Amino acid sequence: MRPARAVIVSLAALAVSALPALTQEGGNTDEMDAALAAGWKASFTCSDLFNAGQSMAEIEQNDLSGIYPDYQRAYDKLPGAQVNTLQKTVSVTYSANMPPRIAAWRPGFGCTQLPIGADAGQIAFLPHFASWPATPAADRGSAIGSNVKIQLRTEEAERLELPVSSAFDERTYGNGTRTSAVLVVRDGQVVAERYALGVDHETPQRTWSVGKSIAATVLGAARRNGIIDIDYPAVIDAWNNGADPRRNITIRNLMNMGSGLDSGESGSRTDRIYFGGGRVVDQAATKVLEAAPGTRFKYANDDTLIAMRALREAMKDDDAFHRFPYEKVLNKIGAAHTTMEIDWNGDFIASSQVWSTARDLARVGQLYLQDGMWGNERLLPEGWVKFVRTPAPAQPATGPGYGAQFWLMTDAPGVPSDVYYMAGNRGQYVVIAPSMNAVIVRRGYDANGGAKFEINDFTRDVLLALQAADNERAAQRSQAEIEAQMENMTAKERAKFLADQQAMQAQPN
């Protein structure tokens, strides 16, 4: 038997050796902050250059400004990014003892970050397509939906001028907010469109969490094709073991933000994936339960990431999985300027890391207005649109309601009760208004930690403008009907009609 004193000394030594790990759990070191800041710079520079064709000056002004405040100090110490235009890579040095942070672009996958500590030699291990079609250059037509009857809509254009122009003044809908694009679609046709300097109809921006609604659309297409069942438990193999209670989580739970999984204080911060080059399976799928599935709402990027991982495991064919969003949804609706980026392990980072134009996002919204149909083809299963806009069993304590990867505009006075929307960081919004048959897109570069764009007020003002256009057309039709009626009258009937009209107008109120 060991002496009691020796046992006590050993336990004390073990406790001391464990202290650094305990104190660091859940937080960042200066080294990690520097690595994440460098990852932000490398990934955004790469995607803006090679997905969006932005200049370095535009990138500095837009995506490299207004970053997370907690990384600003580390970011300010970074040198300039090193760009290899031939190999389409971007690297950012942040440490004398570690390789630079590296992001590499490949057709169809956009930019992928290597993990912290990896060097350029690891780029060869990244997934790639054997072939990928070139992106079409032109997207100038006014038809965004399918089966659209093109009409001259001067009434909408005139009425929308004020709210659309006000969205760019950095005051009306949020002091200091920076709008990059506004697009309004009515009956499948563009009725208003405006962009900030350096952005146009073919410039993709990061969707941030609007990507969650795109992920929901991909999952809907998978359900339509019989690949997944949203109520089948044990969505990923890693959870289907022994006593693991996570095997009871369903894709429905994940889409409702009701997984019950631990995701820290803020489920919207998955920085070690977004900026650290971490794998989805290491960072998102390893959390433990802290609430029963389906009983608690907690907005969490991990829920979306795991749902898309479940699709990958269900398909059991990575090439088919990576092509699926394009072949079954995006290409069919004409969203040719959209790229869904992946981690280095091949999982879509669809909770945020999607790059898309305002027009392509409008097309996704229009697909929902058309009940999942595009032309004569059903892309989403019957009932899917109702599912994503139905309030989840557990709801946020305050603010707007939540459906399934879509928000419900239940906190907006003056807005129809059927409005639901996609929302993402830095002011990305796609609003779907079924009763007005309209889609409203607002893109932005609002600063993290700064003012938020007031999407409720903007939606109200745009829909009021559309209603005013309808009223004006109705008045014009009534007048035209009166004139046509008069044309068909005899001179005597016309004289009597005019006399009756004058008599009515002369009567006191």
User: What are 55-81's pLDDT values in tens digits?
Assistant: 999 999 999 998 999 999 999 999 999
What superfamily in CATH does domain 154-466 come from? DD-peptidase/beta-lactamase superfamily (3.40.710.10)
Distance (Å, rounded) from C-alpha 153 to C-alpha 158?
A: 9
* 3 state DSSP class of 210: helix
Q: Is the pLDDT of residue 452 over 60?
A: yes
Among the ranges given (46-55, 84-93, 258-267, 269-278), the one the predictor scored with the smallest mean pLDDT: 258-267
pTM of the model: 0.90
What are 278's two structure tokens? Answer: 């971490």
Mean pLDDT of 416-436: 98
- Across 384-389, average pLDDT: 98
- Residues 333-359 have a mean pLDDT of 98
- Asked if the model's pLDDT at residue 100 lies above 80, the reply is yes
> Any bridge partners for residue 441, and if so which?
183, 430
Q: What are phi and psi of 75, to 5 degrees?
A: -65, -40
DSSP 95: -
Helix, strand, coil proportions of the chain in percent (round to 5)? 40, 15, 45
Whole-number pLDDT of residue 12: 38
Q: What is the pLDDT of residue 48?
A: 98
Question: Considering only 40-49, 134-143, 291-300, which range has the smallest mean pLDDT?
Answer: 134-143
Q: Which of 67, 114, 73, 79 shows the shortest CA–CA distance to 276?
A: 114
Please determine, for residue 493, whether its predicted confidence score (pLDDT) is greater than 80: no
With 90 as the cut, is the pLDDT of residue 28 above it? no
At 315-330, the pLDDT tens digits run 999 999 999 999 999 9
What average pLDDT does the segment 92-114 reach?
98
Backbone angles phi, psi at 193, to 5 degrees: -160, 130
Top pLDDT among 134 and 376 is at 376
Helices then strands, counting H and E runs in the chain, come out as: 15, 16
Position 108 pLDDT exceeds 70: yes
What are the residue ranges of helices labelled H in 279-353?
Answer: 280-283, 301-315, 318-325
Mean pLDDT of 170-183: 98
What pLDDT, on the 0 to 100 scale, is given for residue 7? 37
Integer angstrom CA distances of residue 369 from 146, 361, 374: 11, 13, 10
Q: Please, is 413 exposed, middle or buried when counting C-beta atoms within 10 Å of its C-beta (0-12, 13-18, 19+)?
A: exposed
225 pLDDT more than 90: yes
What pLDDT, on the 0 to 100 scale, is given for residue 6? 41
Q: Is 178 helix (H, G, I), strand (E, B) or coil?
A: coil
Average pLDDT along the chain:
91
Distances (CA, A) of 197 to 87, 180, 194, 203, 255: 29, 8, 10, 11, 36
Is residue 499 very low, low, confident or very high in pLDDT (cuts 50, 70, 90)?
Answer: confident
- pLDDT higher than threshold 90 for residue 432: yes
At residue 125 the predicted structure's pLDDT band, cuts being 50, 70 and 90, is very high
477 falls in which pLDDT band (50, 70, 90)?
Answer: confident
